[in-house]
Amino acid sequence: MDKYETHAYDVVVVGAGGAGLRAAIESSARGAKTALVCKSLLGKAHTVMAEGGIAAALANNEPRDNWQVHFRDTMKGGKFLNQWRMAELHAKEAPERVRELESWGAVFDRTKDGAILQRNFGGHTYPRLAHVGDRTGLEMIRTLQDRGVHQGIDVYMECTVRRVFVADGRAAGCFAYWRESGRFIVFRAKAVVLATGGIGRCWEISSNSWEYTGDGHALAYWAGADLIDMEFVQFHPTGMVWPPSVRGTLITEGVRGEGGVLKNSQGQRFMFDCVPELYAGEFAETEEESNRWVQDVIAGRRPEARRPPELLTRDVVARAIRREVREGRGSPHGGVLLDIASYRTPEAIKKKLPGMYHQFKELADVDITAEPMEVGPTCHYMMGGVRVDAETQESTLPGLYAAGEVAGGMHGANRLGGNSLSDLLVFGKRAGEFAAHEARGRPSLPAINEDEVAAAARQALAPFERTDGENPYALHEDLRRMMHKYVGIVRNEEDLKIALDELGNLRERARHVKVGGTIQYNPGWHLALDLANMLDTSEAVTRAALVRQESRGAHTRDDFPDSDATWGKQNVIVRKKGEPMSVATEPLSEMPAELKQLLKGG
């Protein structure tokens, strides 16, 4: 094979969104020689699209808030399937991580007395989201980026990792290619941190960018690490539905946090009928009560009224919207209506939701200060991912770490809005810290087998050698449509089995995908390679979904519509163990009594 570059590091971080940047900053600050490898330019990762805010019990707007309440909200939102220790660490450490971000230059919106302002969001008992209008993710990534560039981190931009090497039962580095030149790189490393985000490009309607092709999920799986909770894929209730060009583009939950309400084509606020038993009595029961809550929040008073049911968790709202549309009460283009114009002044809307205003005005010819938005569910977030140790973020493969969306367990069956950005910071830091510690304790770099490098290179170049295959874009579109149809918001055994068959067919077709052109900056080639990750990740989701015979959080089975207490104590684990992929169940670890006690309050 052609020559390739080799670089040696203590720690290689794959992915430069919030988790990857935070991990690299920590690793480097602790003296580890650190590389940060990312598929796009620095600062363009999907974190930039996060809008609503960072959840942290700073208690600036509501003195009754504390980590215990945040922990309870998170567990409840995750339908108690979360790894409790992750949820505990997250709730305890998020405030410190937010303050740290501020000390690195982030400028959050302010309360009247000059502290960080916090907004309401679905599933959070109190206003908890530190935010900057509706561009919190940009603020976070830019702050981390500007901090990171002065830390001596080597950044490899537009560089895609294809394989994690394993030597003597440990992660030993990775194989990658430069997108620009197509040339190969071997990273030798004592520890590898995956921070690659999610898998949303496997679905037709998605809020995710091209990067979200399940890279880290697949890299970990191929290397022999366990995946957990893969059946839980979050559909965000409010994506744009019209025009087709923007179908799936995210509309922040902040619209509802700022007082926006959902209505069907008959003008009904259908969420009043959708409060699940778990949340009985916690939400407003009339429009009058809901409006009082909004007025109190606007005025900065502590609301006496209960919150609007639009602020239920995402799984509940997404299913409710789907039901309205299916039962013929949808909007003209197959969504429902999200109305903030009737509740807030045009000035307030433009101030608090400038991105939303701009996005609708430019792309949909809708003025959200005067008319409602059409919204519908869009594939948004992967709760499942690499199974990690709560303290260290180390996967079941020693030396391989995962943080952020690619790691599983923190959010259980459903993630609360705002808990993602805090997750990135809390566990990004922990992954960087423990990876650096581990790497510095190991005297020498593990060896990498030349044959494995050659095999990875051959595999990467294979699409150029085919003469009779099909276009990778066509195959990708078929995969997305298939997953949406059979492994969407509501599933059943019949559909999931069809999906497995279809995945088999797609896999066969993928073996013949052909790309034209040269090895230089060739997106067709890049996509052809990404298909392998997407197919394996899709299969993991489908198999896990088939095994879990109940409905819980984001996983809804119409053949098993209820939650089941036995299943509520089990995680589904996917691992590579021959063909087909192995799916097993394992019991949740026992929660300490004092945490159990916390779940009873509220």
Partner 1 sequence: MADDVVLKLYRGDAAGGELVDYEVPRAPGMVVLDAVHSVQAMHAPDLAVRWNCKAGRCGSCGAEVNGRPRLMCMDRLDKYPPDEPISVRPMRTFPVVKDLVCDVSWNFEVNKRIPPFQMREGVEPRFSQAEADRVQEFRKCIECFLCQNVCHVLREHHEQEQFCGPRFLVRLAGLEMHPLDTADRLPLIHKQFGIGLCNITKCCTEVCPESIAITDNAIIPLKERVVDRFYDPVKKLFRVLRGR
Member of 454, 473, 504, 558 binding partner 1 (CB under 8 A): 473
* Nearer of residues 46 and 387 to partner 1, judged by Cβ: 46
Member of 64, 169, 180, 332 binding partner 1 (CB under 8 A): 180
Residue 364 contacts partner 1 per CB under 8 A: yes
Instruction: Compute the distance between CA of residue 145 and CA of residue 45 in angstroms, rounded to an integer.
Output: 11
Residue 468 contacts partner 1 per CB under 8 A: no
Kindly report whether the peptide bond that precedes residue 243 is cis, defined as omega within 30 degrees of 0. yes
* Nearer of residues 333 and 497 to partner 1, judged by Cβ: 333
Residue 206 contacts partner 1 per CB under 8 A: no
At a CB cut-off of 8 Å and minimum separation 6, what does 197 contact?
A: 15, 17, 45, 46, 208, 211, 212, 216, 404, 405, 406
Q: What is the end-to-end Cα distance of the chain in Å, rounded?
A: 63
Residue 138 contacts partner 1 per CB under 8 A: yes
- Give start and end residues of each alpha helix (H) in 300-418: 314-326, 346-352, 354-364
* Nearer of residues 28 and 359 to partner 1, judged by Cβ: 359
Other C-beta atoms lying within 10 Å of the C-beta of residue 266: 9
Residue 549 contacts partner 1 per CB under 8 A: no
Which residues make beta-bridge pairs with 376?
A: 239
Residue 250 contacts partner 1 per CB under 8 A: yes
**Is residue 256 flagged as an active site residue?**
yes
CB 173 → partner 1: shortest distance, Å?
25
CB 360 → partner 1: shortest distance, Å?
11
CB 110 → partner 1: shortest distance, Å?
4
DSSP symbols for 182-198: --EEEEEEEEEEE----
Instruction: Compute the distance between CA of residue 288 and CA of residue 303 in angstroms, rounded to an integer.
Output: 13
Q: Which of 22, 72, 256, 322 is catalytic?
A: 256
* Nearer of residues 522 and 556 to partner 1, judged by Cβ: 522
* Nearer of residues 103 and 505 to partner 1, judged by Cβ: 103
Q: Which of 70, 236, 380, 415 is catalytic?
A: 236
Q: Is the four-CA dihedral 483, 484, 489, 490 of positive or negative sign?
A: negative
Residue 35: which of 189, 185, 214 has the closest Cα? 189
DSSP E strands, 489-594: 490-491, 556-557, 570-575, 582-587
Residue 103 contacts partner 1 per CB under 8 A: yes
Give residue 270's identity as a one-letter amino acid code: F
Q: Is the four-CA dihedral 251, 255, 257, 261 of positive or negative sign?
A: negative
* Nearer of residues 21 and 45 to partner 1, judged by Cβ: 45
Q: Which stretch binds partner 1 (CB under 8 A): 105-113, 448-456, 546-554, 566-574?
A: 105-113
Member of 15, 20, 43, 200 binding partner 1 (CB under 8 A): 43
Member of 196, 359, 378, 422 binding partner 1 (CB under 8 A): 359
Member of 71, 84, 121, 242 binding partner 1 (CB under 8 A): 242
Other C-beta atoms lying within 10 Å of the C-beta of residue 582: 13
Instruction: Compute the distance between CA of residue 526 and CA of residue 538 in angstroms, rounded to an integer.
Output: 18
Instruction: Compute the distance between CA of residue 398 and CA of residue 15 in angstroms, rounded to an integer.
Output: 19
Query: Which residues are the active-site residues?
Result: 236, 256
Q: Which residues here bind partner 1, judged by CB under 8 A? A: 40-46, 48-49, 99, 102-105, 107-110, 113-115, 117, 132-133, 135, 138-139, 142, 146-147, 149-150, 157, 180, 209-211, 242-246, 249-250, 355, 358-359, 362-365, 471-474, 477, 515-518, 520-525, 527
